[in-house]
Amino acid sequence: MGESECDHGRDDVTEAFDEVIRLMIRHLNDHGGLTFPAITCLGRLYRDGPARLTALAAAVGASQPSTSQLVQRLERQGLVARVRDPQDGRASLIVLSDAGRTLVANRLRERHDRLTELLATLSPEDDASLRLAMQVIRPIVRRLTETARRSEAQAGS
């Protein structure tokens, strides 16, 4: 395969990812009045547990001062709290409150339910094709996600 054929194949993959992202953002994601950085921050805490402000800033892709302001707003809304870091008593960790955990869990369940409704509209052939494609793509996407996390961690160091 020549270089331009490889580039074209990557363009197809990039466009397919863009379409999936648009589906997720426009049709499967109810922001519930929260900003995208707030959703990203809450999702990070839900998936990975308590985090220092620097790690949240890297996850959100924002500066520490703006992430600090975001965390303050989320604290006022009762969605997160600060606790003392058991590894370093001088530092604090940001944790999801019970209300924050419930909010994220409800959003995930609503997104799952909506996607289930959309998938039910597929023909049996398309459903089988999609299931096969997902078996192939899932481990690849996990590797890409891990590569992206490592890159973010190295940039944050």
| Domain co-membership, 127 together with 116 | no
Q: Do 75 and 130 fall into the same domain?
A: no
Q: Tokens 């590894």 sit at which residue?
A: 87
Range of the domain at 66: 31-121
Whether residue 76 is found in the same domain as residue 140: no
* Amino acid at residue number 125: E
Residue 7 has a pLDDT of 62
User: pLDDT digits over 101-132, tens only?
Assistant: 999 999 899 889 999 999 999 999 999 999 99
CATH number for position 112: 1.10.10.10
Q: Please tell me the total count of domains within the chain.
A: 2
Instruction: Report residue 151 as tokens.
Output: 């890159």
pLDDT tens for each residue of 29-62: 766 778 888 988 999 999 999 999 988 998 888 8
d(CA 67, CA 82): 13
Pair 48, 108 in one domain: yes
The answer as to whether 116 is a domain residue is yes
Residue 78 has pLDDT above 60, yes or no: yes
pLDDT band at 2 (very low <50, low <70, confident <90, very high): low
Whether 12 is in a domain gets the answer no
Residues 74/42, Cβ–Cβ less than 8 Å: yes
